[in-house]
Amino acid sequence: MHAKLFTSATKIKLVAQNTSPSSRIIVLPLPARGHSGRMRIGTMEMPCALGRSGAVTIKREGDGGTPVGRMRLVRLCVRRDHLPGPTSAVSSKPISRHDGWCDDPRDGRYNRPVRLPVSASAETLWRQDHLYDVVGILDWNLRPRIRHRGSAIFLHLCRPGLQATEGCIALRRADLLRLLAACGPRPVFDVAPPPRRIRRQTPAKT
């Protein structure tokens, strides 16, 4: 029943050699806090925030998890009134007040951009909190789309203190701009599985 929900996390090592250092970004969840991670591109490394449920191998709509596996950054959406640029080889488009993203699994536009207002549930990309001043559209569940498998998995700016997201990957502004300037035109993000926690064995009583 859930076979299609598993990601290609186990294939990351097999296909890694097919991408150049400037096109492959590795995301490593940290064991201490479920929503904290480290991002690596070439020799560059930076902290990042993941979903409140951490990295998950089975992704479901609304679970708060960042999907494990390979995702391609297909496009940038930018608030030009807040941020000139950014400098990047990735194609970009300006965000307008009517831009949204459908997150309603019951709707035919699920996990697709929409023009607001719409009757279905949808995220507003024109935000006042600056989180979406730069939004990277990751290709999670785009082709094919599977209902309830998750929507609106983005790369965007983080909240203060790198707080948890609802499943997206978030960076500090300076780090995000640095990342976009360094990566190639079709970068991929390899999100690793969460590290296994080693249980401490209680010494046997003598």
Torsion of CA 70, 21, 163, 137, to 10 degrees: -50
Give the domain extent around 98. 23-191
* Domain assignment present for 110: yes
Which is more confidently placed, 195 or 91? 91
* Domain assignment present for 203: no
Separation CA 127–CA 201 (nearest Å)? 49
Could you report the per-residue pLDDT of 7-32, keeping only the tens digit for each?
333 333 333 444 565 699 999 999 87
* Domain assignment present for 176: yes
pTM: 0.86
Query: 34 falls in which pLDDT band (50, 70, 90)?
Result: confident
Residue 100 tokens read as 């949204």
What's the pLDDT at 84? Answer: 85
* Domain assignment present for 206: no
Residue 2 tokens read as 């859930």
* Domain assignment present for 77: yes
Could you report the per-residue pLDDT of 86-117, keeping only the tens digit for each?
999 999 999 999 999 999 999 999 999 999 99
Could you report the per-residue pLDDT of 48-73, keeping only the tens digit for each?
999 999 999 999 999 999 999 999 99
- Look at the alpha carbons of 176, 180, 186, 188 in this order and tell me if their dihedral is positive or negative: negative
Q: How far is CA 130 from CA 45, 69, 136, 169, in A?
A: 23, 27, 14, 15
Could you tell me the CATH number of the domain that includes residue 47? Answer: 2.40.440.10
Q: Which residues is 47 bridged to in the sheet?
A: 38
* Domain assignment present for 43: yes
Q: Which residues contact 13 (CB under 8 A, 6 or more apart)?
A: none
What's the pLDDT at 196? Answer: 78
* Domain assignment present for 11: no
Number of domains in the chain: 1
> SS3 for 26?
strand
* Domain assignment present for 5: no
